Every structure is written in C-alpha cells, then in structure tokens.
Amino acid sequence: MLVMTPPTASADPPPVSPQAQAAGLVDVLSIVPDAIIDLRYATPNNFVGQQLYPTGARCLIHQDMVAGIVTAADILRKNGEVLVFWDCYRPHDVQVRMFAAVPNPNWVARPSEYARSHESGRSVDVTLADGHYGTRVDMGTDFDDFSPRSHANATDGITPGQQANRARLRAAMAAGGLSAYSGEWWHFDGPGAKDPRPILDVPLN
C-alpha cells in the first residue's frame, strides 16, 4: 500500500546572498513557507535537457512581487491548494542558453542588454498542488509544453476541468495584482516585469 506523506512547511530559509539583498530579491519560502519549490532548471527535466541551475537553487523573487504572491497563496490555501514554483529569478546567462536551444521568441524570450521578466525577478512560473498530499493539479500540459495547448485560455485539447483549474490559478494570481501571460498558462508577471533594467548577477544559492 502506498502511503503519501503530506508536505510540510520548510524551516526558515537562510538569508539570501548579499548580491540578492542588494537587488531586492527574497526567497519565496520566507514569505510562503508552504510553497512547493520544484525548479525544473535545477534538474535535467526541462526543454534544454540539461541542468541549468545549481543543485539547491533557491526561488528568488523581487520584493515588489511579495504582496501579490502572499495574497494568491492565501486565497489558494483556503481552497486546500498550494503554489508550486517551477521558475523564479533566472540569470541572464541561462536565458542565453535557453534561447540558443529554442530560438523562437514565441516560446523563449530573446536575451537583450536589459533584464526583464524572470531576469529581473519579477515573473514566476507556477502551478497548483493539493495542500495536503502535494499532488499536482491537472492543468492539461506539463511545464514548457511548446504547443497551442499551453496558451492560458486554450480550449482545444483541454478539458473543462483543466480549463477551470487554470482559471482558478489565474484568479488567485490576479487578486494579487499579478498578470497572466496569454501564451503560457503557468507564467505570471509582477509589477514592472516589462520594464528594462540592468542585468543582474545574482547567485541562485
């Protein structure tokens, strides 16, 4: 008999690096301790097929996203669900490697001389999980599924239940002032995500 162990909230994470502090980045687990951190780019289980982040990489977001993420997490928690983070702050050199692997700006943002979105810590890639067992909610596709079914409001090949799950995630994030990206149901932007900023050089651990 398979016994599933409920996820437990992590202990207080250690302080972020001085570079992260200077850039205004915080560890998601310091504000949403019951979040599930599943950074795909810290494993080979991603579209590049290689580990792009160091083992033990942390989910860092800019402090401007904190209030929105906390609000979304609080709403979802009342429904018995928790946020699962697939990606947060992304170093520029990783963005370069990603675009080299998939040079299609419809799916991977073209690197530039500025930091936007993930590169500035102002975007996250998330899904939902059952708050007791940690079972992922069925959204109809996996992360980084480069097909029309990944579109936030896709209906072709996406069941009504899967559409409702996506809508519930969008509603919670919107309540926190976080904007959905129409091309990827998992991607959400925080305040100022599209504004060009100096490229950061922040370690992920």
Active-site amino acid positions: 184
Token pair, residue 69, equals 């993420």
Residue type, 7: P
Backbone angles phi, psi at 61, to 5 degrees: -130, 155
Residue type, 51: Q
Rounded to 5°, the CA angle 21-74-78 comes to 155
Residue pair 144/52 in contact (Cβ under 8 Å)? The answer is no
- The dihedral built from the CA positions of residue 91, 93, 94 and 98, taken in this order, carries a sign that is positive
Write the CA distances from 202 to 24, 100, 159, 185, integer angstroms: 11, 21, 40, 27
DSSP single-letter state for residue 50: S
Write the CA distances from 192 to 52, 63, 128, 188, 198, integer angstroms: 26, 12, 24, 12, 13
Strands 81-87, 36-37: pairing kind: parallel
